[in-house]
Amino acid sequence: MVQSLLALAPTLLVLAFFLLGPFNWSRHKSWARAVTCVFVAAIALRYLIWRFTETVLPYPTDGANFYWVWFVFIAEFLAFSEVVLFLILMSRYVDRSSEADDLERKFFAGNERELPAVDVFIPTYNEPLDVLERTIVGALALDHPKDKLKVYVLDDGRRDWLKTFCEGRGAIHVTRSDNAHAKAGNMNNGLRASSGDFIAVFDADFVPYRSFLRRTLPFFLDETIGIVQTPQHFFNVDPIQSNLGLENLWPDEQRLFFDEIAPSRDGWDVSFCCGSCSIARRKAVDAIGGFPTESITEDLLTTLSMLNRGFKTRYLNERLSMGLAAENLTGYFVQRERWCQGGIQTLYLHNGPLRGPGLSLFQRVMFLPMSWLVQYLVRFIVLLIPIVYLWFGALPLYFTDVADYVSNQVPLLAAYFLLMFWLTPTRYLPLVSTAVGTFSTFRMLPTVLSSLVRPFGKPFKVTPKGSSNEENSFDAYTFTWIAGFIVVTALGLLINIVPETARIEGSFSAIAALWSGINIVVLIIASLICFEKPRRLLQAFKLDEAVKVDGVEGRLVSLSLDKAVVAVSTETRFKSTKVGLNIEGFAPLEADLKQVTQRRGDITRTGDKQRYYLHLHYDLRGAERDKMIVKLYTGRYSRDVPDIDKIAVSVNLLLRAFGRTRTA
């Protein structure tokens, strides 16, 4: 009993520290972050010392198992290195919004005619009109003097219909004779066709908010700033949210980076350009010879090349644009494989973190693609360890007793999970976050290995978006791997329950059984992501605005480019299914009443009163459609998930496992 209490003492110390310290501190204070991260780093170092001195060095040199023990430890050491870098990074926090307020007043205080000229680049290759029109119309609506703003649609698809669309809206359509160097080459061609002082870049599927330039341009008063990057937010659900049935309950997969990690990187002056939703100083771009073409991730390499010349990248963590997240698993992996390969490519380049001139040692370390190199290997080994033990009896370490294990590993797990809960309270749940990472492992680990061997072996590939996107499909490849691991792990448990077939004995078997059970649960959740759900091309925004339908007052609760949902009293009647919808700022819209649903009070604040929900469909053209694009996509609405309802997430995951979903 005493030994058990002593084994739990380090974990209790961790719990006490977080209850008395971080959970009472603001996570936005750098001193609080620094103290907490140092504490967690100390716990991690204690664990690593124990692992090396007590569970690796004492292991006898007895053949294959000896090498297995060392292999597992080396993987853990790599994971430890990544965690330490993460802790250093997250020990600082900066919020540039108040700085942006002060700079904005100063920057725009003078004569409007003295404001700098801005060129907006929209590089495109094969995106359809339903994707491009939002971006082009939104860019043209930017709050900046029109004689100082030019929008360039850089069309590597050389499409006549796009040229006609641009001419009708006032955008400049630019083409070239070939598609050399993909996106980077396209933007370099745009440099030759333009002359503005600053270059804002938006991918073909991202719509800038009207205030984008007012918030970002003032940072360039500092002559050392080469790029200002803003976060990427999305107006659709990504395949992780959709396939898990967590559309309104779980944030999109990139929120952890853009909301939490990116601001901390900025605190250390190691922010990097993410391509879209950024603005660059033309002088800085010219100083590096244009956008770099050596890597398929020209954005990251642009940051590194500018650092070589003394120009920094600044990060403003404000929602200043919205775009399309990858709409299915094909697009999801096209994106991530490109990012992974591009990050690894920088290791081999003259302007990368290892060889680039002008970088400090700290900058070199922080720009190493450690996350890409380590995370998928470690996740794979975590799945493999209990299987190797259950089937072959091969221990991953020199094991003494359970109490020793509990005393050293459990405090580390507790410290890490509590740190993540504190730092990212609305972006992280251990089980779901681990399942998402595990799901990606089976496709991304081969990409990591191939990129290390042949870093320039795959060409740039555009992420499919919009109506040109391929149909949703079942990810049979990933599911086969996941199902295989589930079966092998479960069979390993079963054969060791029966004494006649058991291959293991000793205290570690209890830990292996628990480990296996957790792995199976994680793999089951990961397997749900493989089953794609149908997607909607035009995403609707939830809102609450007064409207009239044929003169009847109602509340507009949902709106998209082709449909509105209006709540009205149940006493309401219409003579025809052809009705007039009056939205403030618009001429009356001719709409078809195609469906009427009924439920109790919600956003309309009607208590328990029954309401009719009118589903109104319309077909907007020309100026009215452009006006609706500006209304919907340039700053008034969002689809962000502000918080995580842990109970609702659990219920929906359970329902999804049985083929059903219930969204909030």
Catalytic positions are 156, 299
Nearest-angstrom CA–CA distance, 357 and 305 = 9
| Cα separation, 485 vs 491, whole angstroms | 10
Which phi-psi region, left, alpha or beta, contains residue 355 (left: φ > 0; alpha: ψ -120 to 50)? alpha
380: tokens are 């794979």
Contacts of 333 (CB under 8 A, 6+ apart): 440, 443, 444
Q: Are 561 and 620 in contact (CB under 8 A)?
A: yes
Cβ burial, residue 178 (10 Å; 0-12/13-18/19+): exposed
Contact assessment for residue 156 and residue 188, using Cβ atoms and an 8 Å cutoff: no
Q: How many other CB atoms sit within 10 Å of the CB of residue 484? A: 12
Residue type at position 293: T
DSSP state of 234: B
DSSP string, 26-43: -TT-HHHHHHHHHHHHHH
Pairing of strands 198-201, 206-208: unpaired
Q: Residue 633 — φ and ψ, nearest 5°?
A: -110, 0
Measure the CA–CA gap between 445 and 337, rounded to whole angstroms: 10
In whole angstroms, give the CA distance from residue 526 to residue 516: 15
324 DSSP 8-state letter: P
Q: What is the DSSP string of 250-312?
A: S--TTHIIIIIIHHHHHHTT-----STTEEEEHHHHHHTTSS--SSS-HHHHHHHHHHHTT-E
Rounded CA separation 536/467 (Å): 10
- Neighbouring residues of 178: CB distance < 8 A, sequence distance ≥ 6: none
In the DSSP assignment, the letter for residue 219 is G
Measure the CA angle with vertex 26, ends 21 and 29; round to 5°: 105
Contact of 218 with 209, CB cutoff 8 Å: no
Instruction: Tell me how far apart the alpha carbons of residues 468 and 131 are, in angstroms, rounded to a whole number.
Output: 9
Which structure tokens are listed for 407? 């005393």
Sheet holding 278-281: strands in order across?
Answer: 172-174, 149-155, 118-124, 198-201, 278-281, 225-229, 312-315
Amino acid in the structure at residue 409: Q
- The residues, ordered by sequence, that sit 6+ positions from 404 with a Cβ below 8 Å of its Cβ are 7, 54
Q: How far apart are CA 7 and CA 559, in angstroms?
A: 57
- Measured CA distances, 579 to 342, 556, 618, 621 (Å): 53, 15, 10, 18
Structure tokens given for 461: 């590939």
